Amino acid sequence: MESVTCRTSHVPPSPIAGARPRPDVQVSYTQIQSALTRALRGERLSFEDGVNLYHSPDLLELAAVANELNLRKNGRDVFFNVNRHINPTNICALSCKFCAFSRKPGEEGAYAYSEDEIAHRAKVAADSGATEVHMVGGLHPRWKLANYTNIIRTVKETAPQLHVKAFTAVELDWLARKERKTVAELLGELRAAGLGSLPGGGAEIFAPYIREKICDTKLTGEGWLDIHRTAHKMGLRSNCTMLYGHIEDVEARVDHMMHLRDLQEETRGFNVFIPLAYQPENNELGINRHTYGVDDLKTIAIARLMLDNFQHIKSYWVMTGDRVAQTALHYGANDLDGTVVEEKIANMAGSRAGMAMAKSKLLRVIRDADRIPVERSTVYEPIRRYDNPAEDMLQ
Ligand code: V47
Ligand code: SF4
């Protein structure tokens, strides 16, 4: 098992200071220039480069390089998908400090969907042209493997064409331990039921000095990476995320990206990297601020520069709102996620972006950024390229 240690001996004096570059760190403009030049030459950047880039005083210069790297890889095409989130239960044995979604059994607001409720949502999704359901939930103390396979089968029996992207590494670890199975055995059974790929949730921040403060009882960073490695080796693709904008520092963010880059180098199994901006309400973390646009955009740009072996960087409108998500398309992002329809996790934590976005609006957001909308499958196969703007109104 790969050990997740932080790449620096630096331990921040006060992580609560947030992820703003620390004023005591001296970074020369020459070092930043050197990193940008090397990135444009296609060279791999180091941990120190990533930290230096976060200290760059020139956001537009970062944007120009990230945009250029993205245009080389993906041209002006921007992906979106027509999907639906289904959170089968919010009952959870853990109590991550940033989470506003989970409830304890019997607590007001706790729920667990029946098969009929899941089938209904899958049918509505399929009828509205969705190609994917994204399903993640809490760690239900009483659910067994059969609950999970039934959830997948219910979706596939209702609408066989839907791709099931389901269950975070955290849920898989919990279930494997309860069922006394290896993760490979568990994934084999879920795949036989119809699982298509894994979402990227549960990664949070790998660096132990942050993780232990925000979700100390959760699967470790190395455990998360190990489960994705196992999935990739079985031929299952997956996504990866990073929760930022809470108590972490820029060193922890860059460290996180480098662990993902290393695993991608080993397996090539990640579809996309998705930075998730922290939403501050109704949780126990005590950090009561949303991220601002500069930090969101800088993080997208640095991800594009650091993650040179990733084809896709997602600007997830749910966390940043549509305006910043759109602007990120000029900072290295080439994917906006989807229609979503019933987003609960960020919504309950104070997201101001709403629960859904119509396909017609996604088209407009992309088109207004002077990019070409391309509907994609979950694993990034193009479904339809919207070459003709006149057709957008018909969607
Ligand atoms: O793991 C929980 C995050 C994640 C908060 O793979 C929060 O395509 C912000 O991973 N503020 C689940 N974030 C969502 C997720 C995801 C979403 C969309 C697409 C994909 C994909 C994956 O939500 C959790 C956690 O990191 N989260 N609470 C919060 N207060
Ligand atoms: Fe449970 Fe996931 Fe919320 Fe943590 S983030 S408390 S594991 S639902």
Q: Return the pLDDT at 346.
A: 87
CB of 101 sitting under 6 A from ligand 2: yes
Domain membership of residue 51 (yes or no) is no
Domain membership of residue 212 (yes or no) is yes
Low-confidence ranges of the chain (pLDDT < 70): 1-25, 393-395
pLDDT tens per residue, range 156-175: 999 999 999 999 999 999 99
Domain membership of residue 34 (yes or no) is no
What is the DSSP code (8-state) at residue 386? -
Q: Return the pLDDT at 350.
A: 87
Pocket of ligand 1 (CB under 6 A): 98-100, 136, 168, 199-202, 204, 239, 241, 243, 274, 276, 278-279, 283, 316, 319, 337, 345-346, 349
Structure tokens at 217: 């009882």
Domain membership of residue 62 (yes or no) is no
pLDDT tens per residue, range 232-279: 999 999 999 999 999 999 999 999 999 999 999 999 999 999 999 999
CATH code at position 235:
3.20.20.70
Q: Return the pLDDT at 394.
A: 65
For the CA of 351, the closest atom of ligand 1 is: 11
Distance 199 CA to ligand 2 centre (A): 14
Q: Return the pLDDT at 14.
A: 32
Q: Return the pLDDT at 188.
A: 98
Longest dimension (CA), the chain: 61
Distance 30 CA to ligand 1 centre (A): 36
Q: Return the pLDDT at 10.
A: 37
Nearest CA to ligand 1 atom 16: 201
For the CA of 136, the closest atom of ligand 1 is: 12
- One-letter amino acid identity for 212? E
Ligand closest to 270 (CA) is 1
Nearest CA to ligand 1 atom 18: 316
- One-letter amino acid identity for 17? A
Half-sphere exposure of 238 (CA within 13 A, CB side): 30
Domain membership of residue 208 (yes or no) is yes
Total structural domains within the chain: 1
* Integer Cα distance of 146 and 126 in angstroms: 24
Residue 316's CB is within 10 A of a number of other CB atoms, namely 23
Domain membership of residue 105 (yes or no) is yes
* Integer Cα distance of 9 and 255 in angstroms: 12
Domain assignment of residue 159, given as a range: 74-394
Q: Return the pLDDT at 23.
A: 64
Domain membership of residue 33 (yes or no) is no
Domain membership of residue 130 (yes or no) is yes
